[in-house]
Amino acid sequence: MKRMLLCAMVLAALGVAVVLSGAVQGPQAPSAGPKSAFQFVKQERNPVTHFRWNLEPDDFQFAIVSDRTGSHRANIFSAAVHKLNLLQPEFVLSVGDLIEGTKTVELLPKQWAEFDGYVAQLKMPFFYVPGNHDVASEAMTKFWADKLGRRHYHFVYHNVLFLILNSDDPPTSRGGIGQEQIAYAQKTLADNRNVRWTVVAVHRPLWAAANIDKNGWGPVEQALAGRNYTVFCGHVHRFVKYVRNGMNYYQLATTGGGSRLRGPEHGEFDHFVWVTMKKDGPIIANLMLDSVLPEDLRPPETNERGSKPVRKPVHPVRGQAFFEGAPIPGAQVVLTPVKDAVRADGVVAADGSFTLTTYKASDGAAAGEYTVTVTLREKDAAGKLGPNLLPAKYALPATSPLRATIAADKNELVLELRK
């Protein structure tokens, strides 16, 4: 009915006569279809391109939010809730890291109550997915179980299987899927072999590890073989698209979690993913939170508090990097502290210039002495970095001859690399 009303509003604005038919109840029930909702006097010439409606009975749209926590920032996730209500997806899926987590068990009820207060404002269902900040200890895992029950589960919607996995199984594994969960995933996939698509939601990008058989992803991926599927994860706070076995894997950026927010070219931004499920698979759109505004153009006001990580003062740093006198666009410059400072990095632009970032975009670096490394690698279709195209000596702090001293002032660096 929601889609039909939207269609009616658009057509009415064009001066087209519209009649809405009654809606059929139930999430699986087919709609009456646009033909029964649309009346139009067709003439020899008509002010419309065609009548092939972009709407099938089993099409649906849902949203995915990424990491809220991990040094979360104030008023981001809570604002995203308001913006999701503007867009009205049919449901919202997460990829974990919903609370900051704590070793003090007594604080868990407060953290979960805060988060639940936000998602309770959603007008549509919200599906929880566990992240390491949510179930990283036995006590946190027990709290989840007492509150939410299962940490891995599945559901089917419009003949699409949604498989929710827990990538911190057991909770002290620092990333993995246990044997019981592997067996569950295998059985679920076998029992639902005839669905039209499968969506997997998991917190960690376990497929990026060196040994996927050891962490449990290998058997899960083997069970996924031969079917159409898409995988979504978070954890790294940086957007990356992987292609594995011809299928798309998306590592999402943040929905409030700690980020330097250097923009799409770095995969660092606040967003949610808008998924339109068509008969031949999902269409993916990244919606930047700052671009979603209500009709009065006023951003929603919330009282969500952010975490307060300890940070050293930083100072602006601009530089230039050349190899044999030529700029090296795309090269990554990393400043590794000799002592008592924090790592900073930047990416070289087409003209050879770069700025350094420590905590947020182009904020600079802390005062101190650094070893400088410079590498240039291209990504393949699977999202893996290729070989370094610059001399190997510049790739490691132990061998790089490049040094930098950052002072409590504006700083200019010129890096000259040679064969």
Would residue 77 be called left, alpha or beta, if left means φ above 0 and alpha means ψ between -120 and 50 degrees?
A: alpha
Environment class of 265 (CB within 10 Å of its CB; exposed 0-12, middle 13-18, buried 19+): exposed
Which option is the CATH number for 60-288: 3.10.20.740, 1.10.40.60, 3.60.21.10, 3.40.50.10070? 3.60.21.10
Cis check for the bond before 170: say yes or no (omega within 30 of 0). Answer: yes
Q: What is the C-alpha separation between 377 and 147, in angstroms, rounded?
A: 45
Q: What is the C-alpha separation between 314 and 406, in angstroms, rounded?
A: 9
Identify which of 241, 270, 244, 267 has the alpha carbon closest to the alpha carbon of residue 256: 270
pTM score of the predicted model? 0.86
Sort strands 92-94 and 60-65 into parallel, antiparallel or unpaired: parallel
**Residues carrying CATH 2.60.40.10, the chain:** 314-417
What CATH number has the domain spanning 314-417? 2.60.40.10
What are the residues whose beta carbons fall under 8 Å from the beta carbon of 215, sequence distance 6 or more? 173, 175, 176, 177, 206, 209
Tens digit of pLDDT per residue, the chain (419 long)? 444 444 444 344 444 433 333 333 334 444 455 567 899 999 999 999 999 999 899 999 999 999 999 999 999 999 999 999 999 999 999 999 999 999 999 999 999 999 999 999 999 999 999 999 999 999 999 999 999 999 999 999 999 999 999 999 999 888 999 999 999 999 999 999 999 999 999 999 999 998 999 999 999 999 999 999 999 999 999 999 999 999 999 999 999 999 999 999 999 999 999 999 999 999 999 999 999 999 999 999 999 999 988 899 999 999 999 999 999 999 999 999 998 889 999 999 999 999 999 999 999 999 999 999 999 998 776 667 789 999 999 999 999 999 999 999 889 999 999 99
**Residues carrying CATH 3.60.21.10, the chain:** 60-288
